[in-house]
Amino acid sequence: MDEEILRKYLEAGRIARIVLQETVKLVEPGARLLDICDYAERRTRELGGEPAFPCNISVNDVAAHYTPVIGDDATIPEDAIVKIDIGVHVDGYIADTAVTVDLSGKHEKLLEAAREALEAAIREVKPGVSFQTIGAVVERLIKSKGFKPIANLSGHSLGRYLVHAGESIPNVNEPLPGVFRPGNAYAIEPFATTGEGYVVEREPITIYSLNPERPSMRAMRLRQLEKRLLSEIATRFRTLPFTERWFDVEKYGGVEALRLALRKLWRARALIGYPMLVERSGGLVAQFEHTVLVLEDRIIVTTGGDEGEA
Q: Which residues are catalytic?
A: 85, 96, 156, 164, 189, 289
Q: Is 41 a known ligand-binding residue? A: no
b/e for 166-196, b at 16 or more Cβ within 10 A? ebbbbbbbeebeeebeeebbbbbbbbbbbbe
Distance separating the N- and C-terminal Cα atoms of the chain:
17
**CB neighbourhood size of 253 (10 A):** 12
Q: Is 91 a known ligand-binding residue? A: no
- Residue 21 identity: Q
Q: Is 279 a known ligand-binding residue? A: no
Q: Is 189 a known ligand-binding residue? A: yes
Alpha-helical segments (H) within the chain? 3-24, 33-46, 108-124, 131-144, 217-220, 224-237, 255-267
Nearest to 51 by CA among 19, 15, 87: 87
Q: Is 306 a known ligand-binding residue? A: no
Q: Is 289 a known ligand-binding residue? A: yes
Q: Is 107 a known ligand-binding residue? A: no
> Cα torsion at 15, 17, 18, 21 (round to 10°)?
150
CA distance 90 to 173: 33
**CB neighbourhood size of 280 (10 A):** 16
Residue list for the binding site for a divalent metal cation: 85, 96, 156, 189, 289
Residue list for the binding site for substrate: 65, 164
Residue list for the binding site: 65, 85, 96, 156, 164, 189, 289
